[in-house]
Chain A
Amino acid sequence: MISITHFLIVSACIFCCGLYAVLAKRNAIMILIGIELMINAAILNFVAFGRYDKSNYGGQIFALFAIVLAAAAVAVGLAIILAVYRHYKTINPDNITDLRD
């Protein structure tokens, strides 16, 4: 029997993978993928918790919105990465330290 706990564990695993990618990868695109993974983990939680909201299917609907927003965010993120590449001739976040004082 698959309980909600299993969903939550899978979701946590995906989130951790995404977090690792965001923190450790040396490529901005991979970071973007990590962000997608973390959003997907969240969406998975929405869907899993949506089972207990039988009347409105609120979880399912939030998941759909989130997917759309994620797609939009990825488009913006890719555009930013492209702009960053044009400016710095690199997309390695280690080499981009302009936020430093």
Chain B
Amino acid sequence: MGELLHISPILASILVMLLPLFAFIIQASLGEKATSGNISLIAILISFILSATIVLPGIWNKPPQYNTYDWFTIGTKTFTIGILLNNLTVLMQLVVCLIAVPVHIYSRAYMKGDPGIARYWTFLSLFCFAMLGLTISKNLLMLYIFWELVGFASYLLIGFWYTRDAATAANKKAFIINRVGDIGFLIGIACLYSLFGTLDIIEILGEGGLFSQGIVDQQSSLMTLAGLGFFLGAMAKSAQFPLHIWLPDAMEGPTSVSSLIHAATMVAAGVFLLSTLFPLFNDTVLLFIAIIGTITALMAAYFALEQHDIKKVLAYSTISQLGYMMVAIGIGAWDAAMFHLTTHAFFKCLLFLGAGAVIHEMNTIKKHDCQTIDPQDLRNMGGLRKYMPKTFILMSIASFALAGFPLTSGFLSKDAIIISSFEWAIHQGGLYHIIPIVLVVVSILTAFYIGRLIFKTFFGELRINTTANSLLHEAPKTMLWPMFFLGIGCLFFCFSPSPISYHLAPILDGFSVTYSFSEVHSLHIIIPVTLTLTALISWWIAYRWYVLDQHPVHSYNLDIEQNSNRKVAVFDFIPYHLANSLIIFSRWNYHFDKYIIDGSVNAIVKFTLRTSQIASWIDTYIVDAIVIGISNLSKRIANFSAWFDKYIIDGLVNTIAQTTYYFGHLLRWVQNGRLQNYLGFALTMVLIGIIYLILR
């Protein structure tokens, strides 16, 4: 170990990136035989150790290090690739490793016995390579390549069960929508290149770089376009409204994949990109980012209220949390965004892994009873607390973190974002207050839907009749250990020495961002207390509704149907309307998402398809027809001239030849070699002569 420590952080980080690539190559060349996944697991484990012991201590709070290598030259411009290590990139790399290791271990149990498991490990290693490469790219072009590669790996993993129609449809959707974002990214790259003549992040944004020299006007429209382009890329990757529609569908992939890619790491790449390029964005772009982030956070939280699929609830929750991070970037507190990204990675990954364990058990029931139930449907679950207590406790911790209860990591990072946004709003004044207020509402909704998920899954009684009760058991140890590890990562002491104040968090210190707004001390007490209280109230309501079964809508309906004499009390009346309107609004929102946003995307896709069909029709029936017609015509002419040649010209010659031959044949008969015939002819001629002389 002592010798290993002498490796420079640059070399170590390259190794961290390349090890999963080697694992991918080995797995791919071994083919179907490599089912154990040991190679991938060992590679990511070594990556994790290198990242945690060499890269992070060597870089954190020290001057950034980088290495550049020439790649290729076009004209006089040389393109480079390089490794950039600073606080941001090493943190992101460590987070990716840190989440990938438990997911790899978990997958060993979760994916056991799947016929395509060799493929699974191959794809997972490819993804890890791409994601780790993305984090430490120094050059935007290189970043773009890894960005694409991450999207491609995600495409492969969403469609892992490619025999399901839904999975193939989902991976196509994800890929196409990500392409839309990639165009934005490419526009951003092109704008930067035309402005700076280089794509090197250090040359542009580093100390004494082109950007700090002030040769480019930050307010110029090209800079705005570049900023919006990069944000479009981040929107698609980080599932921001209206490009968020691929993420819920991406839940068709294996749950372990959802937890790694579609909750913790890949979807955070957009936030990471915006944080890396943060100085480039001017106020217009930042405001746009904040607005989109707010809309996303609110809409996704509403959708999550009415979902029945356990994974979809978590997917919408992820979108909503990503919206938070976007708001944090939009208000300039990108350190808070990265902080929330890190804490979110832990608790959302844990929630997904727990959901995977629950789905696993529901599948057991499904197989045992041969029922046609959906194992992911919350309406079928309930009372699982008795059978899998450890999973219950771990998922509860994660959902406390998501809801932002004190002593959890989510409390710190969420407060950081909401308090910063309030301070920002006070600084800006006026209508800007809408954003922090919406964030508080979203926080309440978040607490409610995650409470609903926990109560519906683990409390009460199992909602389906089954005889498989005895078969239900705790998840296997290989699944539980990674969850324990992540569960510890959901607690405050991993991130900050103080359970209440986020200011002491080393992650925030490491970035040392200077805010454009001043600190308001009173908020630091009011906001956490408000958030905690509202979260408690929403959990209490969720508990009343889903565990005690005092769902106001439900009981009101019962009253109407069964007992019209019973009076509806006033205090029931108000929650009823509140709940009803909430639910209607959530449904309406969901339908809006499903039919308007999805619909418009589908319409565009259909329009494109139709246009291509028309184009193909024109191609087949008009362009091709002309060509075919001309070719047919020349064929006809050729046929005719061939016929003319054969039967007229040749025929004439042949006829003459045959006539000659016929006559020759006719005369040849005379020359038969028989003397008597010759004499006969001679006599005939003599007789003819005599007759001529007589008749003359």
Within 8 A of B (CB), among A17-64: 19, 22-24, 31
The answer to whether B674 touches A94, judged by C-beta atoms less than 8 angstroms apart, is: yes
Instruction: Report Cα–Cα, A23/B679, bound state, in Å.
Output: 7
Shortest beta-carbon distance, A15 to chain B, in Å? 12
Is A93 a contact partner of B671 (Cβ separation < 8 A)? no
Residue A97 lies at the interface, judged by CB distance under 8 Å to chain B: yes
Does B560 reach chain A (CB closer than 8 Å)? no
> Does B570 make an interface contact (CB < 8 A)?
no
Give the nearest-CB partner of B673 in chain A. Answer: A100
Nearest-Cβ distance from residue A93 to partner chain B, whole angstroms: 6
Partner of A23, one of B671, B672, B673, B680: B680
Alpha-carbon separation in the docked complex, A58 to B675 (Å): 34
Contact residues in B for A98 (Cβ distance below 8 Å): 673
Interface residues of A (CB under 8 A from B): 19, 22-24, 31, 93-94, 96-101
Contacts of A97 in B (CB 8 A): 672-674
What are 27 A-B residue pairs whose CB atoms fall within 8 Å in the complex?
A19-B683, A22-B676, A22-B679, A23-B679, A23-B680, A24-B676, A31-B676, A93-B674, A93-B675, A93-B676, A94-B674, A94-B676, A96-B673, A96-B674, A97-B672, A97-B673, A97-B674, A98-B673, A99-B673, A99-B674, A99-B675, A99-B678, A100-B671, A100-B672, A100-B673, A101-B671, A101-B673
Q: How far is the CA of A100 from the CA of B676 in the complex (A)?
A: 13
Q: 9 shortest A-B CB distances, which residue pairs?
A: A100-B673, A97-B673, A99-B673, A23-B680, A23-B676, A93-B676, A100-B672, A93-B675, A23-B679
Least CB distance, B668 to chain A, in whole angstroms: 8
Minimal beta-carbon separation of A63 from chain B (angstroms):
24
* Contacts across chains A and B counted by CB atoms under 8 Å: 30
* Interface residues as binary, B3-38 with A (CB distance below 8 Å gives 1, 0 otherwise): 000000000000000000000000000000000000
A86 to B672 alpha-carbon distance, docked (Å): 22
Residue of B nearest to A22 (CB): B679
CB-CB under 8 A from A23, the residues of chain B are 676, 679-680, 683
Q: Which chain A residues lie closer than 8 Å to B671 at the CB level?
A: 100-101
How far, in Å, is A22 (CB) from chain B's closest CB? 6
Point out the residues of chain A lying under 8 angstroms from B679, CB to CB.
22-23
Cα–Cα, bound, A101→B680 (Å): 19
How far is the CB of B676 from the nearest CB of chain A, in Å? 6
CB neighbours of B673 from chain A (8 A): 96-101
Hey, which chain B residues are within 8 Å of A100, CB to CB?
A: 671-673
Q: How far is the CA of A33 from the CA of B678 in the complex (A)?
A: 19
New A-B pairs, 14, CB < 8 Å, besides A24-B676, A94-B674, A99-B674: A23-B680, A31-B676, A96-B673, A96-B675, A97-B672, A97-B673, A97-B674, A98-B673, A99-B673, A99-B675, A99-B678, A100-B671, A100-B673, A101-B671
Q: Convert B652-679 into 0s and 1s, putting 1 for each residue whose CB lies closer than 8 angstroms to a CB of A.
A: 0000000000000000000111111011
A26–B31 alpha-carbon span in the complex (Å):
98
Distance in Å: Cβ of B552 to nearest Cβ of chain A: 126
Q: Closest residue of chain B to A94, judged by CB?
A: B674
Count the B residues whose beta carbon is within 8 Å of the partner chain — how many? 10
Chain A residues closer than 8 Å to B683, beta-carbon distance: 19, 23
Output the least CB separation between A98 and chain B (Å).
6
Q: How far is the CA of A97 from the CA of B673 in the complex (A)?
A: 4
Question: In the complex, A68→B608 CA distance in Å?
Answer: 122
Residue of A nearest to B672 (CB): A100
A32 to chain B, nearest CB (A): 13
* Cα separation A94 to B680 with both chains bound (whole Å): 13
A22–B680 Cα distance when bound, in Å, is 9
In the complex, what distance in Å separates the CA atom of A23 from the CA atom of B684? 12
Q: What is the minimal beta-carbon distance from A16 to any residue of chain B, in angstroms? A: 11
**In the bound complex, how far is the Cα of B674 from the Cα of A100, in angstroms?**
8
In the bound assembly, the distance between CA atoms of A101 and B672 in angstroms comes to 8
CA distance A23 to B687 in the complex (A): 15
A19 to B331 Cα, complex, angstroms? 141
Q: Looking across the interface, which residue of chain B has its beta carbon closest to that of A25? A: B676
| B269 CB to nearest A CB, Å | 101
B412, chain A: closest CB distance, angstroms? 124
> Bound state CA distance, A96 and B672, in angstroms?
10
User: In the assembled complex, which residues on chain A have CB atoms less than 8 Å from the CB atom of B675?
Assistant: 93, 96, 99
- Chain B residues near A99 (CB, 8 Å)? 673-675, 678
The CA of A99 and the CA of B675, in the complex, are separated in Å by: 8
What residues of chain A lie closer than 8 Å to B676, measured between beta carbons?
22-24, 31, 93-94
What is the bound-complex CA distance between A101 and B675, given in angstroms?
13
Q: How distant is B688 from chain A, measured CB to nearest CB, in Å? A: 16
Bound state CA distance, A101 and B670, in angstroms? 11
Give the docked Cα–Cα distance between A95 and B680 (Å).
17
Measured between alpha carbons, how far is A99 from B676 in the docked complex, in Å? 12
Complex Cα spacing A101 to B668, Å: 9
- Name the distance in Å between B597's Cβ and chain A's nearest Cβ: 101
**Chain A residues with CB below 8 A from B672, complex form:** 97, 100
Expressed in whole angstroms, the Cα–Cα distance for A78 and B446 within the complex equals 141
Alpha-carbon gap, A93 to B677, bound state (A): 10
Q: Once the chains are docked, how many angstroms separate the CA of A93 from the CA of B679?
A: 12
Query: In the complex, what residues of B have CB within 8 A of residue A96's CB?
Result: 673-675
In whole angstroms, what is the CA distance A98 to B671 when docked?
A: 11
Q: Which chain A positions have C-beta within 8 A of B674?
A: 93-94, 96-97, 99
Task: Give the interface centre of B675, B678, B680 by most chain A CB atoms within 10 Å.
Answer: B675
Chain B residues with Cβ under 8 A from A94's Cβ? 674, 676
Q: How far is the CA of A19 from the CA of B683 in the complex (A)?
A: 9
Distance in angstroms between the alpha carbons of A22 and B675 in the assembled complex: 10
CA distance A31 to B683 in the complex (A): 15
What are the residues of chain B within 8 A of A19 when measuring CB–CB?
Answer: 683
Q: How far is A99 from B683 in the complex, measured between Cα atoms in Å?
A: 19
Central interface residue in B672, B673, B678, B680, by most chain A CB within 10 Å: B673
Residue among B671, B674, B678 having the largest count of chain A Cβ atoms under 10 Å: B674
CA of A93 to CA of B675, assembled, Å: 7
A53 vs chain B, min Cβ distance (A):
27
Q: Quick one: closest A residue to B680, CB to CB?
A: A23
With the chains together, A11 CA to B440 CA distance in Å? 157
The smallest beta-carbon distance between B667 and chain A, in angstroms, is 12
Interface positions, chain B 109-142, Cβ under 8 Å from A, are none
- Taken together as a complex, chains A and B put the C-alpha atoms of A100 and B672 apart, in Å, by 5
CB of B677 to closest CB in A, whole Å: 9
Closest Cβ of chain B: how far from A84's Cβ, in Å? 11
State A99–B672 Cα separation when bound (angstroms). Answer: 8
Q: With the chains together, A101 CA to B676 CA distance in Å?
A: 16
Contacts of A93 in B (CB 8 A): 674-676
B contact residues around A101 at 8 Å (CB): 671, 673
Which residue of chain B has its CB nearest to the CB of A99? B673
Chain A proximity of B206: nearest CB distance (Å): 109
* CA A18 to CA B672, docked complex, whole Å: 23
A101–B664 alpha-carbon span in the complex (Å): 13
Say how far B690's CB is from chain A's closest CB, in angstroms. Answer: 13
Residue of A nearest to B678 (CB): A99
Mask, B412-441, CB within 8 Å of A = 1, is 000000000000000000000000000000
A44 vs B671: C-alpha distance when bound (angstroms)? 35
**Min CB–CB distance B686 → chain A (angstroms):** 11
CA distance A24 to B683 in the complex (A): 13
